[in-house]
Structure formats: C-alpha cells, structure tokens
Structure 1
Amino acid sequence: MAKNPEKASYRHRGRLTPTRPASNLAERWTLVDGVDVFYRESPAHLDAPVMTHLHGFGLSGRYLLPTAERLADEFHTYVPDLPGFGRSGKPKESLDVPGLAHAAARFLDDRGVEKTTLVGNSMGCPVILEFARRYPERVHRTVLVSPAGGVFNQPLRRAVGQLAKDGGLEPRKMISVATPDYLRFGVPSTFKMFKALTEYPSLKRLLELQIPTLVVIGERDPLLPGPERVQEVANQTDSHVLVVLLEGAAHAINFSHPGELANVIRLFMHDKPIRDDPRFPDHRRVFEVHRGKHHPPPRDP
C-alpha cells in the first residue's frame, strides 16, 4: 500500500509551495529513501491503468501538466519531481541516468504501483529507457517525447546553443515555468547532469527495447536530428517502435502542444491509427515516420 502522502519535510513545503496550485491535479509529498519527493496525482480511478510522466533536464514536472491533465480522466496519473529537481529535495550525491531510473522505481514502490506506462520528455526519455531495461516487467508502454542526449547534443556549448534556439521557438509562458526550475537546479548540477546525459547510450537502449514504444518528435526541434535522420535510425529496428512527427512543434511538446500530444498518446495506447484530432481542425498535423514490424497493428475506431 502507498505511504502517507502528507509525510514530508515542512521546511521544503514552506519554502517552495506556491500561493496557489499550478494544476488541477492534487499536489502531494512523500519521503523516498530519506529524500522529500514532491508529486502531482490525479483522482484515483479504481480500475484505471497508471501513467507516470517524467520531466526533462533541469526542470520540474510542472511543464508536463498541460498534457498530463488531458490524460488524467482515463489514467491514474503521477507527475513527480525527481530527486534533485523542482520542489523535491536533493539526494546526498547527484544522480546520473541509472540513478534517476532507480529513484523513479522507488517512488512507484512508495506509491504502491506495480506497473505503469511511462511518458517522458527530453532527459526523461533516457531515464525511461534505463527504467525499461532494468524493470521491463513494470512497464506497460513507453512514450518518448523529444528524446535528448547523445552525440547530437555534444559538446556542452553546442547543447547550450540548441537550448537557446529552442527558447525562441517555445511559447512565452514556458519561460516563466522553466526559469525558476533552472535557477533552482544550479550550475554545478547542470554540468554533472549534462555529462551523464550525453554519455548514456540512448540509441542502443531504444533499439534493444521490446516494449511497445511511441516516439514523438517536433518538426522544429533544434535538439534533435532532422526527420530524415530519425527515420534512418528507426529503420535499424523492426521492434515495437512507432515514430510520429508533429508539424511545427519544437522541443517542449508536452507544454506547447498538449492537445495534439494527448490525442496521439491516446491513439497509441489503444492501438488505433495515428490521425489528427477532428475536434481541433486548426491544430498542427501529425505524421507517422516509422512503424516497427512488431508494433501492434493499428485498429480502426
């Protein structure tokens, strides 16, 4: 059974809790391996499958909320700030990608969650890949949105330039969400985490994956190779990977295009063809770039 969600350090809560909630998901705290962990949770649905959203580099789960909230009516939703990020406490030593995957597993242990679908953005994607490698029996499906890391983001000055370019492509509201998170994360942590992120073999782990996986990339994302290169890489595997391109999107798709992303995730979860949402006739279009031979075939609604 899950532990008491109110068990946490009031020192952290008093310092970091905003004057009003940033989400219609419940804001809660728990204690995992001696670290205060802040998380958001949807109302419990007795028979609903669990979906856990993992944030990107230097950020908290706050920018994932627009998409997570749209899926919370169908999935028991968790959006944690991983240890060392956002409003959660800092562990004694900085965590690398495997360490963050273990921390995510311990958080789910604490919540009494045996199996979940994992949805990540940017750094959250390598964390998910490592989680799936270590605990495949605990993962229903994986959704990798704008997966970052690896040689395309090296060296650090290149990644900084990519991030700066992306900043001009994201909605203005993203600045007010991201800036406090980056400042709280700090410069020393940034260098350590960047090194760990670029050294993690994300591509190898993705090609090894045997779990149904959706990869969503933005057409204008400066942190990722172009669609042609993505398709070339995807064609190296006949596994369970489905790659979708979102027209006009940059890197923080979970924040900038939540309606389109939530629609794609729902279709993927139900093995339906990837199509534009007819409720939003003016929204950005989505295109399948690659569908692995062993991916579940789409079923018409």
Structure 2
Amino acid sequence: MPKVRIVDIEDRRFRVFSSPTVPGGREFVLVHGIGISHRLFSRLHRVLSAKHTVHTLDLPGFGGMPRPDSDPDIADMARDLAEVLERLGIGPVVAVGDSMGTQWVVELGAQRPDLVTHVVAIGPVADARHRTLFAQAAALGLDSLREPPSANARVLVEYARCGPRWYGRQVRHMIDYPLEQRAAELVPPLLVMRGGRDPIAGPEWSRAVARCAPRSRFVEVPGQPHLVQHTAPRPVAEAIEWFLAEVPQ
C-alpha cells in the first residue's frame, strides 16, 4: 500500500501517494491534469513502482482536495509543488505530467532544475488549434469517443468532484500558459509523448513543443487516446525508460 501524506501550503492542500522506496531506482513524481486526480495515473504508478520510487499527487481542488479561495496560476502551483517536494524530502525527480499537468511539470523544471532531472509531458496543452474554451471542449468531447469506459467513468466522477467553478478558474490559466516559451527555457531534458489518436494534443503541436526544448525527444504511442498513461501504461513506461537512458541529465 502506498504511503499517503498531506501537505498544506497556505489555503492549498496537496495529497501525495508514495510507493515503497526502491534502492537503485529513480524517484518519479506524477502530476495529473485539470479536473482529474491521481487515479488516472494509478496504472502507470503501478508499472513504474516495480523499479522506482513513485509519488503521485492530488493537487488543490482536484481529487476531493478542498478548493482554495486563492487562484494559483501555473507558476504559483509549480512553486507549491517544489515546496511539497522539499518538505517531504523528495527528489531530484523525473517529473511526469499529463494534459494540464504537463504545464505544471514544465514550469517546475524551468523554475527548479535542482529538483528535476527530466521532464515528461504526456498529451501537452494547449494545442495552438484549441486556445479557446469552445475548442477545448470540442477536442475533449471527441476524445471521450476514443477513451475506454473506465477512463470516461473516472473522468466524469472527478469532474463532478472538482466542480465547474474551480475548473473554470484553472482552465483560464491553462489556455494562457506559454508552454513553448517555457519548454525553450528548460535545463532538464524533455520527453513529449502523445497517443496516436489524441485529438487534444495534435501531432504537429506536440512535435513543435519538443523542438522548442534544448534537449528533447518525441514519442507517439500508436492507436491510443489522450489518456495514454491509463490506456497503455506499459508502453508509456517503456518509452520513459528509453528516454532516461537515451538523454542523460
């Protein structure tokens, strides 16, 4: 069973699920996307924890965590993530994010390269084609037709727990965040990954984000939707292992 710890930073509460320490392995931090929770990373967490120490988070307002009165943007949340890692003595880490989580981990890597060895961005957002609320909703609706029932059911539950007000506050930051610019400022290497059938993070956009970073790789998992870490955890884990061996810190 994972160890569960709570970290409060002002009015923002984080929950951290940590697997047992694996001697000789790396430390991973898995950061979910907007509206969802650690549960959409549970399969990848399980696969990675066979060889590594893995920490999966629930961010403030998501996964049943209290919704803050404050309105942290991407940079604020990344600073909080760094403080969570420092308080718990975690790191340096391989920081893995999916969807909006890619923004938080890229920002964490840009702000604190001392805490991050590598950054993995799965299904990065916001694609240049989808930088309005309507376009985001349309892409999300299309993706729901490609996700398995287990993913759609979990997403619906988590969106209901999050609530429209907190989601709406955070999605503004997601659309405004300059991911390409911050990827260009990364010191840690960047892996950009997408499912081959992901309508949210398109192939041109995902490759463009990878090209922005000084040291990067791009991987596409054929036939998979946006939540590829849920639908194909083993190929995702294998791609991450390849990246860590291919591009040293």
Query: Do Structure 1 and Structure 2 share a fold, with TM-score over 0.5?
Result: yes
Q: CA deviation at 1:151?
A: 3.4
TM-score (norm 1): 0.77
- CA-based RMSD of the aligned residues comes to 1.9
CA deviation map 1:205-250 (0-9, x unaligned): 112223111111121111123x34544564466x211001111111
Read off the aligned partner of 2:4 and give its amino acid letter.
R
Distance 1:229 1:174, change over 3 A: closer
Secondary structure, counterpart of 1:93 in structure 2: coil
Read off the aligned partner of 1:33 and give its amino acid letter.
I
Distance 1:235 1:92, change over 3 A: closer
Query: Take 1:150 and 1:97, find their aligned partners in 2: how far apart are those partners?
Result: 16
Q: Does 1:28 align with 2:4?
A: yes
Task: Give yes or no for contact 1:29–1:36 (8 Å, CA) kept in 2.
Answer: no
Q: Does 1:142 align with 2:154?
A: no
Determine which structure has greater relative contact order: mean sequence separation of CA pairs < 8 Å that are 6+ residues apart, divided by chain length.
Answer: 2
Query: Take 1:220 and 1:267, find their aligned partners in 2: how far apart are those partners?
Result: 22
Map 1:1-301 to 2 at 5 A.
25-26=1-2, 28-34=4-10, 35-149=12-126, 151-225=128-202, 227-228=203-204, 230-231=206-207, 234-235=210-211, 239-271=214-246, 295=247
Distance 1:199 1:46, change over 3 A: same
Larger helix proportion of the pair? 2
Q: CA deviation at 1:113?
A: 1.6
Distance 1:192 1:232, change over 3 A: closer
Read off the aligned partner of 2:93 and give its amino acid letter.
T
The alignment-based identity, stated in percent, is 25
Task: Give yes or no for contact 2:181–2:212 (8 Å, CA) kept in 1.
Answer: no
Read off the aligned partner of 2:245 and give its amino acid letter.
H
Query: Take 2:190 and 2:148, find their aligned partners in 1: how far apart are those partners?
Result: 27
Q: CA deviation at 1:264?
A: 0.9
Aligned residues: 247
Query: Take 1:147 and 1:38, find their aligned partners in 2: how far apart are those partners?
Result: 23
CA deviation map 1:102-158 (0-9, x unaligned): 221121122112411101100010111111111111111111110112533221011
Secondary structure, counterpart of 2:235 in structure 1: helix
Query: Take 2:21 and 2:205, find their aligned partners in 1: how far apart are those partners?
Result: 41
Task: Give yes or no for contact 1:83–1:103 (8 Å, CA) kept in 2.
Answer: no
Read off the aligned partner of 1:32 and give its amino acid letter.
D
Task: Give yes or no for contact 2:180–2:212 (8 Å, CA) kept in 1.
Answer: no
Query: Take 1:126 and 1:216, find their aligned partners in 2: how far apart are those partners?
Result: 14
Query: Take 2:111 and 2:238, find their aligned partners in 1: how far apart are those partners?
Result: 29
Q: CA deviation at 1:47?
A: 4.3
Distance 1:209 1:78, change over 3 A: same
CA deviation map 1:161-220 (0-9, x unaligned): 110110110111012211121011111112211111111100111122231111111211
Divergent runs of 4+, >6 A: none
Secondary structure, counterpart of 1:56 in structure 2: coil
Query: Take 2:39 and 2:223, find their aligned partners in 1: how far apart are those partners?
Result: 22
Read off the aligned partner of 1:28 and give its amino acid letter.
V
Query: Take 1:196 and 1:150, find their aligned partners in 2: how far apart are those partners?
Result: 14
Query: Take 1:233 and 1:28, find their aligned partners in 2: how far apart are those partners?
Result: 34
Q: CA deviation at 1:73?
A: 1.8
Query: Take 1:30 and 1:36, find their aligned partners in 2: how far apart are those partners?
Result: 7
CA deviation map 1:53-110 (0-9, x unaligned): 0000111111111111100022111001011211323333132211221221121122
Query: Take 1:249 and 1:50, find their aligned partners in 2: how far apart are those partners?
Result: 26
Task: Give yes or no for contact 1:150–1:202 (8 Å, CA) kept in 2.
Answer: no
Task: Identify which range, 195-204 or 210-219, moves more after superposition.
Answer: 210-219
Distance 1:28 1:240, change over 3 A: same
Q: What does residue 5 of structure 1 align with? A: none
TM-score (norm 2): 0.92
